[in-house]
Amino acid sequence: MQVPLLDLKAQYAVIKGEILAAVSEVLETQRCIGGPKIDELEEKIAAISDCKFAVGVSSGTDAILNSLMSLEIGSGDEVITTPFTFFSTVGCIARMGAKPVFVDIDPQTCNIDPAQIETAVTNKTRAIMPVHLFGQMADMDPIMEIANKRNLVVIEDAAQSITSTYKGKKAGSIGAVGCFSFFPSKNLGGIGDGGMVVTNDERLYKRLVMMRNHGQNPKYYYKYVGGNFRLDPIQAVALLVKLPHLDRWSQTRRRNADYYNRKFAATPVTTPYVNPDCVSIYNQYVIRVPKRDEVVAHLKKNNIGCEIYYPLPMHLQECFAYLGYKRGDLPQAEKAANEVMAIPVYPELTDEMKDYVAETILKFLR
Ligand SMILES: Cc1ncc(COP(=O)(O)O)c(C=O)c1O
């Protein structure tokens, strides 16, 4: 049996007719930049995120970059974030000329540990950027409490967690802005790159809209130095086809996670911890196992897709050496990097496939 980490062909088989028709319509009209489909997607993503405004952008990375630019965060500023994330979170802070300041993770959720944030705040701190990793939101109440007390802005990197909740509140709706990615492997993934920023702040919304189009308003008059961060209508129509399926896909991922949780109960496999305040959308199902690298090799040999998110925390990356962190500085992130592995959790998995994945791991560890 073969079980890939993700099977987008299985998803496509179900919606192929609709996707082809929607893409064909864009091509027939040749409305290839902007237009009503972008507006429609923005309205719908704002609605499912319980936010007033949404701005379609070219990727999750550009959602973060646009947010930082629109919030005027740059040289001389510090942004507190987690070292255990995809590169974009930190790369965007650095590209703005701001300084990433890392706070270690909570070993249970792998999200930023709010208890360690306050000591990292200095008079240069402008923002906190929690990342809602693997589909589960960070512990937002204490983060917002510190932010409000110290007058800091909160940017939610919700790239992996669209529609997930914390105390009933949607990802992206708690901070000043929320950033989503439509990278194809996300629960709501496009047919290429795409992203979105959501906010409840009208002034910020207007700035985000200008900034994604070079900072211009009106045409050929530039209020800010922005970029080309526009979302393609081809992506928007594909995402509109997929959107009605999103809740069911996330529910099925949760059911798959429950299945694995039962299978791995009372075994050496540590299953993902979900904070009782959160509903995870399980963009990834990430376990911890002894002899992780051997388990990964064994799964690959048995045609099972798996991946290590992430093998090296951001504070130890070569490009961030100038920040001066060293091994041992953020022990929980470093430990997680050595122990975690993601196994297939996508909605189209059959019971036989899940069983094969779980049994292959358990047999190896016995
Ligand atoms: C946590 C996190 N932040 C940011 C991004 C960047 O999104 P994109 O790949 O769409 O640029 C991703 C996606 O890969 C992500 O997982």
- pLDDT tens sequence for the chain (366 residues): 999 999 999 999 999 999 999 999 999 999 999 999 999 999 999 999 999 999 999 999 999 999 999 999 999 999 999 999 999 999 999 999 999 999 999 999 999 999 999 999 999 999 999 999 999 999 999 999 999 999 999 999 999 999 999 999 999 999 999 999 999 999 999 999 999 999 999 999 999 999 999 999 999 999 999 999 999 999 999 999 999 999 999 999 999 999 999 999 999 999 999 999 999 999 999 999 999 999 999 999 999 999 999 999 999 999 999 999 999 999 999 999 999 999 999 999 999 999 999 999 999 999
Q: How far is the CA of 310 from the centre of ligand 1 (A)?
A: 13
Distance 268 CA to ligand 1 centre (A): 31
For every residue of the chain, which 3-state class applies, written as one string? CCECCCCHHHHHHHHHHHHHHHHHHHHHHCCCCCCHHHHHHHHHHHHHCCCCEEEEECCHHHHHHHHHHHCCCCCCCEEEECCCCCHHHHHHHHHCCCEEEECCECCCCCCECHHHCHHHCCCCEEEEECECHHHCCCCHHHHHHHHHHHCCEEEEECCCCCCCEECCEECCCCCCEEEEECCCCCCCCCCCCCEEEEECCHHHHHHHHHHCECCECCCCCECCCCCECECCHHHHHHHHHHHHHHHHHHHHHHHHHHHHHHHHCCCCCECCCCCCCEECCCCCEEEECCCHHHHHHHHHHCCECCECCCCCCHHHCHHHHHHCCCCCCCHHHHHHHHHEEEECCCCCCCHHHHHHHHHHHHHHHC
> CA–CA separation, 179 vs 97, rounded Å?
20
CA of 12 to the centre of ligand 1 (A): 22
**pLDDT of 261:** 98
Residue 84 Cα to ligand 1 midpoint, Å, equals: 13
pTM (predicted TM-score): 0.98
How far is the centre of ligand 1, averaged over its atoms, from the C-alpha of 108 (Å)? Answer: 22
Q: Which of 87, 88, 110, 191 to mutate to test the pocket of ligand 1 (most atoms within 8 A of CB)?
A: 88
Residue 349 C-beta-side C-alpha neighbours within 13 Å:
32
- Distance between CA atoms of 206 and 122, rounded to whole angstroms? 30
Residue 283 CA: which ligand 1 atom is closest? 16
Residue 193 alpha carbon, nearest atom of ligand 1: 10
Are 190 and 38 contacting, i.e. CB atoms less than 8 angstroms apart? no
- What CA–CA distance (Å, rounded) separates 253 from 11? 13
C-alpha 60 – ligand 1 centre gap (Å): 5
How many Cα atoms sit within 13 Å of 189 on the Cβ side?
18
Q: What spacing in Å lies between the alpha carbon of 159 and ligand 1's midpoint?
A: 5
Find all residues with CB under 8 Å of 286, minimum gap 6, and list them: 110, 134, 272, 309, 340, 341, 342
Distance CA 284, CA 307 (A): 10
Tell me the best of 85, 89, 181 to mutate to test the pocket of ligand 1, counting ligand atoms within 8 Å of each CB and taking the most. 181
Query: How far is Cα 47 from Cα 52, in angstroms, rounded to an integer?
Result: 7
CB atoms near residue 39 (< 10 Å) = 13
Name the residue of 61, 68, 84 to mutate for ligand 1: max ligand atoms within 8 A of Cβ. 61
What residues does ligand 1 touch, defined as CB less than 6 Å away?
Answer: 59-61, 85-86, 88-89, 131, 157, 159-160, 181, 183, 193, 195
Of all protein residues, the one whose alpha carbon is nearest to atom 4 of ligand 1 is 88
